Amino acid sequence: MEARSHGPHPEDRSYSDGLTDLGAAGSAVWGISPPRRHSHEKFARSRGLYMPLLSDTGLTVAKSFGITAPLIGVRRAVFILTGTGRPHWKHVTAVGATYPPATALAAQLARLTA
């Protein structure tokens, strides 16, 4: 799961392009951010993204994962959850200057299923 701020980010395309590998590792990939669904659909079409983009307009998911922040709203984050919804691994950053590539996520998924 990824909590996203507004605008395109390099990992959006990386994760979308890596869906086959991530799916083969037994995962589902979703993007989650505060904008409404219509905004997501337009964004996905403009970027050629194939993962579902979910809206968290009330920041319910962001708050439950502890990634809300004063001034910026939501920290950039990537989570890998177990089959029961518990966090297995996470990468959180304030401004999204770094992000793990899809290959790093696949490696974490392999550890989860090992």
What are the tens digits of pLDDT across the range 8-58?
455 566 777 777 778 877 788 888 888 766 666 777 777 777 778 888 999
What are the tens digits of pLDDT across the range 80-109?
888 888 888 999 987 766 788 888 888 888
**Per-residue confidence band for 5, with pLDDT thresholds at 50, 70 and 90:** very low
DSSP result, 37-63: HHHHHHHHHHHT--S-EEE-TT-HHHH
The pLDDT of residue 35: 73
Crossing angle of helices 37-47 and 10-17, rounded to 10°: 70
| pTM score of the predicted model | 0.74
Indicate if the pLDDT at residue 62 is higher than 50.
Answer: yes
